[in-house]
Amino acid sequence: MKNKPENKPIMTDINDVQTYMEKKVGVGTSFDVGFREIILLKQKVQLYYLTGLCDTAIIVELLKKLTAINDEESNKTELPAIIKNRLVHQQVEKVDKFNDAITQLLSGLIVIFIDGQELAYVVDVRSYPGRSPKEPDTEKVVRGARDGYTENIIENTGLTRRRVRDERLRNEIIQVGQRSKTDICISYIQDIADDGLIKTIKKELKKIDIDGLAMADKTIEEYLVKQGVNPFPLVRYTERPDVAAVHLFEGHVLIMVDTSPSMIITPTTFFHHVQHAEEYRQSPTVGTFIRWIRFVGILASIFLLPFWFILAVEPRLLPEALQFIGPNEVGNIPLIVQLILADVGIEFLRMAAIHTPTPLSTAMGLIAAVLIGQIAIDVGLFSAEVILYVAISAIGSFATPSYELSVANKISRVFLLIAAAIFGVKGLLISFSLYIILLARTKSLNTPYLWPFLPFNGKALLQILFRFSVPMSKQRPSIVHPKNNYKQS
């Protein structure tokens, strides 16, 4: 892994080239490496390409132009220059090292070797299999742009550029992975983004020495943020170009990885995960309303179950107005076991829904909701209240915009619940404090995770509690340390 293969210059004799290519790239063995030899002015010219990644129409056009040389030209000594002239394409490059040529070949470009020359021409005839931009499933909005990032990094930079026509937008590309040679693009606006952050990210990316990045963005994230056992998402993902552009303008640095439609937004705090593009598609009041309802949902998904549990097992805690809370009859199994079982049941359902084909999922929902829920009460397994509260907290976690955050919250909920079951009120309070402290200690790329709540920043917290109208929010968030604080004058 460590010792890189030597970078040989291209040989003069085309037969040597052919043997080298057969040995090295497996021409003739791998069926997707195409090879074509033509004779131009009595000299051998060889074309190598990948059948899966090239656009046939362009190759045919190039071949037509090349073979016409035999009819129209006669100056043998000028052959390389003639060939270069006849490669009718805007992206033609000359290489003289084998490894460069091979990397290009395996990226889907066509490589042309000429007998007797220590060089090769590389033409960009790539056409990657892929889909067209489509609205991402996880970030739907009622109105607004319906395009989303795809698996193609070039298209993705294009989608960003459509929204940021600033000459100061930088898309720096680097290749990571000895075998996969995955393209990674770091995007930022030069005179806004924090240099220190860009430097840190580049440093971390350059340190990666791995054979392949098959899981693209996720692998990169794990190298960047050093997650450890912390379940909380330390970067925010988006598949929406408009969300990405907003963050670029705010001074965030985006990382896009080829073969993944998810952009990584850095730096991220907890509160980046509770926002959604939909809030900015509605009037500020409606946006704020949506946001508050969502906050209630998220809080319910963490604290409702443990809190209800403690009130149910210790009715002395209840104030008079709330005496009706808590199960009326003692069930057949302990309350904590009921809660954990019901929660696990919902988790079954959620996990199954991810990979169940749509026709089956209707049947699955029916069985789960109607049959299990009601029957579990009828046979005396669960009490009705358990089902109610577990369902509310499950819906709360579905209302969390970030899928990663909702799962992390679910884990914290189970911990709070178990602590409350073992140590009662004290367990609940101590685990609650630990929850806050652990979140406050977490840092993502040197950014405190609970900012702007802890460390407290009043202005920024207001921006999170209320969705302000765009003309009113003039400053960029201070947490990204922008070089230029004002979005508008």
List residues binding other proteins (CB under 8 A). Answer: 196, 311, 316-319, 424-426, 429-430, 432-433, 436-437, 440-441, 443, 446-448, 454-458, 478, 481
What is the number of other CB atoms lying within 10 angstroms of the CB of residue 10? 21
The residue (of 59 and 235) whose beta carbon lies closer to other proteins is 235
d(CA 118, CA 137) in angstroms, rounded, equals 51
Q: Measured from the CB of residue 410, what is the shortest distance to other proteins in angstroms?
A: 23
The least distance separating other proteins from the CB of residue 107, rounded to whole angstroms, comes to: 39
Please name the residue that has the structure tokens 């692998």. 219
Q: Which is nearer to other proteins, 2 or 316 (CB)?
A: 316
Least Å distance, CB 437 to other proteins, is: 7
Residue 306 CB, nearest approach to other proteins (Å): 13
Task: Please state the closest distance from residue 378 (CB atom) to other proteins, in A.
Answer: 32
What type of residue is 445? L
Distances (CA, A) of 433 to 57, 285, 398, 430, 461: 65, 33, 25, 5, 21
Q: Give the residue with the Cβ less far from other proteins, 7 or 433.
A: 433
DSSP state of 369: I
CB of 238 to other proteins, least distance (A): 24
Judged by beta carbon, residue 240 or residue 272, the one nearer other proteins is: 272
CA-to-CA dists, residue 91 to 94, 97, 110, 122, 128, angstroms: 10, 18, 11, 8, 16
- Contact, 373 vs 277, CB < 8 A? no
Nearer to other proteins, 80 or 327 (CB): 327
Given the complex with other proteins, which of 34 and 427 has the nearer CB atom? 427
Q: How far apart are CA 3 and CA 471, in angstroms?
A: 55
State which residue, 210 or 454, has the beta carbon closest to other proteins. Answer: 454
Distances (CA, A) of 342 to 107, 311, 391, 408: 50, 18, 9, 18
Mention every residue, 6+ apart, whose C-beta is less than 8 A from residue 272: 236, 265
Q: CA 261, CA 388: separation in Å to the nearest integer?
A: 37
Look at strands 263-266 and 236-238 and give their pairing: antiparallel
CB neighbours of residue 293 within 10 Å: 11
Q: Could you tell me the smallest distance in angstroms from the CB atom of residue 317 to other proteins? A: 5
Q: Which is nearer to other proteins, 138 or 478 (CB)?
A: 478
- Nearest approach in angstroms of CB 426 to other proteins is 4
Contact 462, 452 (CB under 8 A): no
